[in-house]
């Protein structure tokens, strides 16, 4: 089917539109205009002499001929991508688009810097970083790599630990002066807890561990957010007790702006690189994960200080 008439880009756009069932969503994910996507699909339909999509104002779906072309296009693109990956691995020169997902604050303060360094080393890789307040489905959302904090990982994916991390309970001295410091975990119900909708954690339930024992604590309060940086700002301003990663709270603990409470309780939340295929299958994923491992090993060494993981 593929000759000079049918470009690989048009076939790839066909598959994206079919998967997302939307021209607009496809354009958004590819970083192009909806008009560009529409024109490419129309060009492919003209070249093939077949209508590939049913179009309505609310939905896009494949026609019977479109289904056939979609299946063939998937096989072609998988073969081409596999061939390119093998060549890249042999040459040791990763290239192509690398789609990475992570969480808001960690992405802005840590992952973005790491990927910028990776880009300098591998300019032929085009990185597309997106941040979310939820866990992504790598297959469904079409990401090559997820850098996540938290130990809940789909067994269908491959994960490599990048750094150790855990979450702790903390509050400002001002809050504790006004409301008292909880001495027992059960006393959290009497306090204003700053609830964060973490990517890997149910809202209002803090899963903690102590002395090899796990406990679920139901918490609540007047302030809830899906952004950890906002929660930290609330905690610093004396609005309540927070469960936050040690990487994000350490500097405030050292400055005395936050106080670590109920120290025997913690929540494991390590840093992982999660990807859908074995590293031997993709030069770009393999090189990026290797870079992340080195980055997190060295992160914070400047000035003789190790990161507080």
pLDDT, tens digit (0-9, with 9 covering 90-100), for 221-237: 999 998 889 999 999 99
- What average pLDDT score do residues 165-185 get? 95
| For residue 199, pLDDT beyond 70 | no
Instruction: Give pLDDT, residue 168.
Output: 96
Mean pLDDT of 140-164: 89
CA atoms within 13 A on the CB side of 183: 1
Please give the DSSP secondary-structure letter assigned to residue 108. I
Length of the chain, in residues: 309
**The two three-digit tokens of residue 71, written as one number:** 């299946």
Q: Is the pLDDT of residue 241 over 70?
A: yes
Find out whether 47 and 6 touch, Cβ atoms under 8 Å.
yes
Residue reference for tokens 């918490």: 219
CA angle 93, 96, 99 (to 5 degrees): 120
Helix (H) / strand (E) element for 118: namely helix 112-121
Average pLDDT value over all residues in the chain: 86
- CA-based torsion, 248, 254, 259, 265: positive or negative: positive
d(CA 20, CA 37): 13
Q: Say how far apart CA 224 and CA 36 lie, in whole Å.
A: 40
Which of 39-43, 82-86, 234-238, 272-276 is least confident?
A: 82-86
pLDDT at 202 over 80: no
Average pLDDT, integer, range 56-72:
87
pLDDT over threshold 80, residue 128: yes
* Residue with the two structure tokens 């209508």: 51
- Give percent above pLDDT 90 in the chain: 48
Residue predicted with more confidence, 43 or 31:
43
Higher per-residue confidence, 174 vs 15:
174
């Amino acid at each position: 089917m593929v000759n000079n008439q049918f470009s690989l880009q048009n076939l790839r756009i066909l598959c994206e539109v079919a998967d997302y069932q939307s021209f607009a969503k496809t354009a958004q994910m590819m970083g192009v205009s909806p008009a560009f996507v529409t024109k490419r699909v129309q060009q492919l339909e003209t070249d093939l002499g077949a209508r590939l999509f049913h179009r309505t104002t609310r939905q896009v779906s494949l026609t019977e001929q479109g289904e056939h072309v979609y299946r063939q296009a998937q096989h072609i693109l998988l073969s081409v991508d596999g061939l390119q990956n093998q060549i890249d691995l042999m040459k040791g020169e990763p290239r192509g688009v690398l789609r990475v997902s992570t969480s808001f604050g960690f992405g802005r303060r840590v992952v973005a810097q790491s990927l910028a360094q990776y880009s300098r080393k591998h300019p032929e890789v085009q990185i597309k970083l997106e941040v979310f307040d939820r866990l992504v489905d790598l297959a469904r959302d079409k990401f090559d790599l997820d850098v996540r904090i938290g130990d809940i990982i789909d067994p269908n994916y491959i994960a490599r630990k990048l750094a150790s991390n855990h979450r702790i309970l903390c509050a400002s001295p001002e809050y504790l002066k006004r409301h008292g410091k909880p001495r027992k975990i059960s006393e959290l119900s009497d306090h204003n807890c700053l609830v964060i909708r973490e990517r890997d954690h149910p809202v209002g339930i803090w899963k903690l561990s102590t002395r090899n024992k796990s406990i679920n604590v139901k918490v609540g309060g007047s302030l809830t957010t899906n952004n950890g940086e906002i929660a930290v700002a609330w905690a610093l301003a004396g609005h309540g007790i927070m469960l936050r990663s040690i990487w994000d709270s350490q500097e405030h603990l050292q400055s005395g702006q936050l106080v670590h409470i109920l120290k025997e309780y913690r929540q494991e939340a390590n840093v992982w690189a999660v990807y859908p295929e074995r590293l031997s299958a993709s030069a770009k994923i393999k090189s990026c994960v290797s870079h992340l491992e080195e980055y997190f090993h060295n992160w914070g060494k400047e000035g003789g200080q190790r990161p507080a993981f």
